[in-house]
Structures are given as C-alpha cells and as structure tokens.
Amino acid sequence: MKSVTLKDVAKAAGVSYATVSRALSGSHQIGSDTRERIIKLCDEMGYTTNYVARSMVTKRTGLIGLVVPSIDNQFMSELAYYAEMSARGHGYNIMLCNSGPDLKQEKTVVKLLLSRQVDGILIVPQSPKTYENIRAYTDQVPTVFLSENLRDQPQSYVAVDNSRGTYIGTKYLYELGHRDILYFGRRHTTTHQFRAEGYIRACRELGLTPRFFNSEFTRSSITGGYQLAKELFAKPIDYSAIFASTDSNALGVLKAADDARINIPGQLSLIGFDNISSTALPRIELTTMEQPKRDMAVQAVDMLRDKIENGTQGYVHQILMPTLIKRSTCRDLHAS
C-alpha cells in the first residue's frame, strides 16, 4: 500500500508542493481559505506527516521516552497520564515502556529508546541500582528521573518528600490517640527507605516503638498487599493502626481485613501513601498521603524540555511536598 505524500495532496488540490507545505506549517504566506481547503483535503486523503523525514532535517524527533516499572500500577499509570498530557501540550509525543521485572529489562528499554532517537527520557527507576545500571546510556540523551529520590546523584529528578509524608501521617495517627502503629509493606528501594525513615523519626519524637511488617515483593500491588495482610492477620493484633507504605498495599489490607471480619476503622485504623484515584471511591475512602502526581509530571517534563530545547547542562533536584488527605479509615480514639 502506498502512503499519501505532499505531492499527492498538491496534485489533488491543484496547487504547488510549497503551498501545501506552507498550509501544514501554519504559514501566513497563504490565505486562510486555501489553508483550510488543503488541510481538509489532507484529512480526506489520509495524509500523515513523515516525522522520520522531518527529523532528518530538524535533528529532533518530537519523541520523549517514558519508562515506568509497571503501567498496571495505578500510581504509575496516573503519573504517565499527566506526563503525556504535559508533553503533548508542548508538541511532544510519548513513547511508553515498561521496565519490569528487572534491571536487565530496564536497560533493554532504555537502549530501545535511544535507538529510536528520542529527544529525551523520563524514567521512574526500577531500584537504587538503576542510575549506575543505565548511566552509560542516559549520558547520551537529556534525562530526568521521576518519583524516586536519588539523594545526591548528579542527575536531575523530581520527587516527593517521602520522609516528610510518613512523618506527617504518623503524627496524625498519634493525634488521634494511637500509640501502637505498625508500618506495613516496607521494601528495599530508596523511596521505601525514605518513607521508613520518616515513620521512625516520628515514632522517636513521640516516644513510640517503631514496628515493621516488611514485604519481599519486587513492587507494591493490591494482590501483594492482600497476601501480606492475610499473613499479618493470622497473628494476634496488638496494634491499633497500620501505616501502609503505598495505597496499593493499603487496598490489599482492606480486602484482607474484610475477609477476616476486621472492621476498619472500628477495630483498626489504616492510612496509605500516594492518593491514587481509587482510594476516594465509596466504601473505600482511604485516608492517605497525597503525592502531587500532576505537579511532579509537569515539572519533570518542563525540566526535560529545558535540557532538550535550550541545551541546559547540570542537574536539578526538585522535591515536592506531600499532603495529608483525611477520609474515613482512621478512628479518633479520644472520641471512644
């Protein structure tokens, strides 16, 4: 099948190749009636811009690679959505890749994006080892890391203050009268390390004993949270509140609690972290720490555009503040 070219459109419209080109570029060198007629004809004939040919002239593809560990994770999908909307608003298209389940796959998709000549890459890292694992490739293209705090690594990133989030959430539970607070689902990533640190700091300041129920899963999910919570609830409950490391884990806790006929918040209070959209649904209404997903995505895209369009060197570490979203899964013990 033969693709429709500018020459085909020019012939059908009875105008020159240059006139069609000017119409599509929005040039004011032709009249509005002619421009509208040509654009309508392009649509009728099924003409599409040859971005490969254009990139050979402009040295840009208009593509941004977006790498996430797993798009079926609701937090990741919402973050990807906002990143795409922001990029599209500035004339870029997103090429989305899943990096799961391991560092080898993460490196593979980054190499793929470079081979497709993307103008830049946004990446939610797989683990603390990601930076060194793909450094040889990200040194070749403008790159901004997203969601994961890389501490002092000389690479640009946008993340939330995870430690501050768990600190605020723990203090909120304390203010409601809770003195036995279990931290649920900690994993071996930088994000989880920061969240655990905030929880520990709050416990120490408040005179509480930190308690953990850790996860060995490679990523957070409702299924994983459910399996962990079933194991947890098989033992005596000697705590009044659970701080789940993610909303996905918290939703798993809710399901397991329902199976075990444990009333939340009547018998057990629960708080999550992320504020994914499903946490606000009726009969869930999870209290959680919100990550400003839209702001994170917009700032990461803007940071990357600055590197692409202005050739800005160096790196920026942007840390955004989380917000406590109070709903109905935390009980005020003082009101008992």
pLDDT tens-digit readout, 291-312: 999 999 999 999 999 999 999 9
Q: What is the per-residue pLDDT across 113-149, written as a single tens digit (0 to 9) for each?
A: 999 899 999 999 988 788 889 999 988 999 999 988 7
Say whether both 111 and 19 belong to one domain.
Answer: no
Task: Please check whether residue 73 lies inside any domain of the structure.
Answer: yes
Domain that holds residue 44: 6-49
> How many domains, in total, are found in the chain?
3
pLDDT of residue 54: 59
Please check whether residue 323 lies inside any domain of the structure: no
pLDDT of residue 205 exceeding 60: yes
Looking at residue 4, what is its pLDDT? Answer: 85
Q: Is 129 found in the same domain as 222?
A: no
Q: Which of 33-47, 223-237, 239-253 has the lowest mean pLDDT?
A: 33-47
Q: Name the band, by pLDDT with cuts 50, 70 and 90, for residue 58.
A: low
Both 285 and 166 in one domain: the answer is yes
**Residue 217's pLDDT is what?**
87
In CATH, what number is assigned to the domain containing residue 25?
1.10.260.40
pLDDT at 151 exceeding the cut of 80? no
Task: Give yes or no for residue 173 having a pLDDT over 80.
Answer: yes
Instruction: Identify the residue with better confidence: 161 or 57.
Output: 161
Average pLDDT over residues 54-75: 82
Q: Is residue 227 part of a domain?
A: yes
Whether residue 178 sits in one domain with residue 124: no
CA-to-CA distance for 329 and 265, rounded, in angstroms?
5
Range name among 45-54, 126-135, 315-324 with the lowest pLDDT average:
45-54
With cut-offs at 50, 70 and 90, classify the pLDDT of residue 262: very high
Question: pTM for this one?
Answer: 0.84
297 is written with which tokens? Answer: 């995505």
- Give me the residue label for tokens 């930190």: 210
Residue 52 has pLDDT above 80, yes or no: no
Q: Where are the beta strands (DSSP E) in 172-247?
A: 181-184, 211-213, 241-244
pLDDT band at 53 (very low <50, low <70, confident <90, very high): low
Q: Is the pLDDT of residue 112 over 70?
A: yes
Please tell me whether residues 147 and 171 are part of one structural domain: no
Residue 213 resides in a domain: yes
Confidence band (pLDDT; 50, 70, 90) for 47?
confident
Q: What is the mean pLDDT of the chain?
A: 92
| Helix (H) or strand (E) run with residue 121 in it | strand 120-123
Same-domain pairing of 81 and 229: no
How confident is the model over 217-238, as a mean pLDDT? 94
Residues 181 and 251 in one domain: yes
Bridge partner residues of 211 (DSSP): 182
Residue 55, domain member (yes or no): no
Are residue 104 and residue 137 in the same domain, yes or no?
Answer: yes
> CA of 266: how far to CAs of 131, 230, 257, 263, 325, in Å?
44, 19, 11, 5, 19
The answer to whether residues 177 and 260 belong to one domain is: yes
Specify whether 170 is located in the same domain as 238: yes
Residue 326 lies in a domain: no
**Same domain flag for 135 and 183:** no
- The values of phi and psi at residue 147, to 5°, are 80, -40
**In the predicted model, is pLDDT for residue 56 greater than 80?**
no
> Does residue 249 sit within a domain?
yes
CATH at residue 175: 3.40.50.2300
pLDDT computed for residue 96 by the predictor: 96
- Looking at residue 1, what is its pLDDT? 62
Same domain, 135 and 85: yes
pLDDT of residue 6: 82
Domain annotation covers residue 336: no
Note the pLDDT of residue 51. 61
- The larger pLDDT score, comparing residue 271 to residue 11, is at 271
Terminal CA-to-CA distance of the chain, rounded, Å? 74
Reading across the β-sheet that carries 317-320, which strands appear in turn? Answer: 93-98, 63-68, 120-123, 143-147, 157-160, 317-320
pLDDT at 226 over 80: yes
| Distance between CA atoms of residues 11 and 238, nearest Å | 80
**pLDDT band (50, 70, 90) for residue 107:** very high
